[in-house]
Every structure is written in structure tokens, then in C-alpha cells.
Amino acid sequence: MLNIKNRREFFWDETMVDTAKTTATPKIHELIKRECVVKHDEPWEGDGCDYYNLFYDNGIYRLYYLGWQMISSDGTQHTLSTIKVCYTESRDGLIWIKPKLGLREFNGSKENNIILDETDDNNWDNFHVFRDENPDCPSDEKYKGIAASYGKLICFLSPDGINFTKGWLLTDKGTFDSLNVVLWDEASGKYMGFVRGFHNSGIRDIMYMESVDFKNWSEPKLIDFGDGDDIALYTNCVSQYYSGKHVFVGFPTRYVERTEWTDTFNKLCGLEKRAQRCKIHPRFGLAVTDCVFMTSRDGFKWKRYDEAISRPGPEEPTNWLYGDGYPAVGMIETPGIYPGTDNELSLYMSTNHWMGIPADLYRYTARIDGFVSYNATYKPQILTTKPFIYDGDELFINFATSAIGYLYIKIKSEDGNEINSYELFGDKIDRQVGFKDGSPSQFKGKPVVMEIKMSDADIYSFVFKQI
């Protein structure tokens, strides 16, 4: 029996859904591209800026990324400049500042936002930082960086998130040439790692490992997608969902490499640079990427949606290329785009990847809890939950309907008693549900089933709150 207490639950997988009694269907909702928030036009940055990761920390959002130039400005050479680990921060997720940290020298000056460079490691491939919430974590290791170097995964330690020193080897059993993510999971009392791997002699994939002390790690194993299609995944971008840490979310970059240059490549926007990239290496011109969504309850077994949550989008000279759809790890709740609307989620992705011009970091938005909904067409459909127990007095839902659409919610107990809602219509991330013949408080602590009848509507999540 599921006991959700008073935590918010999401309709991103079948954990809460009785699929045999449900006719509504899951629907992925694409991220919406907004404004550019960071321009990477500093001389130590460039078109290779990537592998962004961010988290909230005592009033600020800290964001880390690699700064480097991959392709020469004329597009003909793979230059591979020395990689720097860079830092920027924000108080609202909208305005980002590159502080002058004075830590590492570039071209004779320390007036830059570089926190680590080739003097710390001359074989950077990625760098991920997290704040360690393990209560047993020493204060001088509160911030941990994870980096790949010479085919090994190593850690860096910091007391403040800015000044890092090299730590120890985590594992050498893997490939690691993509952004590797580690987090502390309070519920299980262990660290979880999501790292790059391969299977079937070359298909890019994601591997899972764990540790109770951050020093001794299990051997990485491929995460379980069930019977999902075998698709190459480049990054993983796994995190705990910010308002429901019992649920993991991931935004892996999907890698699709065509085997030959065809007529469509000739007709895509930006032909000249694409052809130049192909001459440097065929896959630089033949591969395209986008982003999909996946979710898990335990970090190992995942539900992955095969419809993109972020497509390359309308054709421009710098998209529909290898490098689209690389989101940052992490997200920020920001004000709604229009006055008076609900808050939304901001996620971040870069453009101009390996194009010989500075990369730009763009903000994307999503509805809060809104990556996936259960959707009903105009013809009424039903969502029926599995039996569960809750601890709360009133029901709140995240939902949206058309003007003619609606939801009706019924809560039924094992003894046959039930309560029925009034008609619900509108578009709100946290609407209290009114019932005409009782209150959810009367079923608190008892097994119930919830039936939702919908027309031209979506439901994203729900929670029983104590009032």
C-alpha cells in the first residue's frame, strides 16, 4: 500500500496510476526557449562552453561550466584550447554575474571567473559540483566536485564552493567522457553516482554506482530502462526534483548519428559550417542531438520518454547539430513570464556548440511539475489511481483545462464511502479542490482510490495538505 503522507505526487510514471482502469494517457510537454542569460565571449571561454550544473546555496544559485574553444573561428580546425572550470552566480535565475575571483591567471591577469585550470589538471573533460548535505560530511568537504581525468573519475573538495583541492579516486571502471553526476540521497543514506558508460560495443549509455562514505563505490552498472528502445544517450543531467526529493528526474541528451550525407543535410540551415565540421570529423556533421525526459523512484530503474522534451527547434545556422539539447543539471523556480501568472521552472541550455563563435546560455521554461501530464482529449477519459493512504485535510491539484474542458474528482474508501468534487476548470499549479458531499479529511490515514474524470484537460500532480 502506497503511503504518500502529505508529499506531492507526480503523474510522470505509473507509480500512482492503475493503468488497467485508466484511459487518459501520458503526454510530454516541451520546454520553451526564452532569453539569453549568459554570453560566453570572454577570451578564456568560447564555443566549447558546456556541462553546466547549478544548485541553490544560502541565497545564491551557483553555476559551474567548462570554458574552452573547440573549433577555430574559420571553422576548419579542431583547436581544443586548454579547458578551464568557470563559475557564475545569480540571485534570481534571471541575471547571472561572472565574479572576478582572482584565483587563476589567464594571459597575465587574474581578473576572471576561472576556479580551476591546467595547473590543477591538464586533462579535464567535465566538472560537476554539489553541496553535500550528509550530516557527517566534514566542513572542509562541504562542496564536492566530480571530474574525469585520464579515464578515471576523481573528486575535488572545497569548504566554500570556490576554492577546490584535488581529492581521491572514485572509480576507474567506466568511460566518464561526459558530465558525470553525484548526489547525496538523504532517504537512503547514500551517495548516488550517474556516470557515462557504453554498451554493445559503442552505444552511449548511463551507469549507476553508489557509496555510503564517498570513498568506496560499487562497480558501475547500466541503469534499467525496462523494455525501452535502445537509444544512445550522451549526458544524463540527473537530479532530485527540487520540491519532491523522493523522485529523480533526468534530461539526457539523445545522440543520433546518420551514416551518410544526404539531401536533407544540404537543405538544413547553416550548410557551410556543417560541411566544414564534417571535414574535421564526419560525426561532427552527421550527428544531431536533442533532449528527452526520464524519471525514477530509486535511481536505478527509470521510465524514459522517447518523445523529445526539447527539440532542436526552427532551423537556424547554429542548430540541428551535434551539441543541441545539452541542459544544465538543476533547475530554478522563477516568476511567471506574464504578470500575475504562476511561477514556473527555469532550465538552461547553451547554443553555438562547436561553431567557432562564442557559446550563449539560454533560459528555458517549464510548468512547475509540468514535464509530463496525464491528458484527456475532448472525449471524456478517466485516470484511476492505485490504492494509497494520505495524511492531509484538503486536496490540491496542478491541472489545466480548455474553456469547455473539466475535471471531476472522486475519492473512494475501502468501505464504499466516497466524496465527489465540484466541476474543476482553469489552469493553476496549486488549486484547492472543493467537494460537495464531504471533505478529504474524513479519509485521512485510510486506504482510498482517486478517480479523475477529464475532458480536454491535463493533470500534473497532487498533494493532500494539512490545513
User: Are 186 and 112 contained in the same domain?
Assistant: yes
CATH code for position 420: 2.60.120
User: Are 128 and 232 contained in the same domain?
Assistant: yes
> Which of 369, 391, 408 is where one domain is finished?
369
Residue with the larger pLDDT of the pair 81 and 172: 172
The pLDDT tens digits of the residues spanning 292-348 come to: 999 999 999 999 999 999 999 999 999 999 999 999 999 999 999 999 999 999 999
The pLDDT tens digits of the residues spanning 405-451 come to: 999 999 999 999 999 999 999 999 999 999 999 999 999 999 999 99
User: Are 180 and 105 contained in the same domain?
Assistant: yes
User: Are 326 and 401 contained in the same domain?
Assistant: no
CATH code for position 172: 2.115.10.20
The pLDDT tens digits of the residues spanning 79-106 come to: 778 999 999 999 999 999 999 999 999 9
User: Are 380 and 358 contained in the same domain?
Assistant: no
The pLDDT tens digits of the residues spanning 119-156 come to: 999 888 999 999 999 999 999 999 999 999 999 999 99
Mean pLDDT across 175-194: 97
Domain limits for position 16: 2-25+373-465
Dihedral sign from CA coordinates of 149, 87, 33, 76: negative
User: Are 315 and 400 contained in the same domain?
Assistant: no
How many domains is the chain partitioned into structurally?
A: 2
> Which of 335, 369, 403 is where one domain is finished?
369
User: Are 123 and 254 contained in the same domain?
Assistant: yes
Look at residue 122 in the predicted model and tell me its pLDDT.
87
The pLDDT tens digits of the residues spanning 355-387 come to: 999 999 999 999 999 999 999 999 999 999 999
Judge whether 65 and 133 are in contact, CB under 8 Å: no
User: Are 400 and 329 contained in the same domain?
Assistant: no
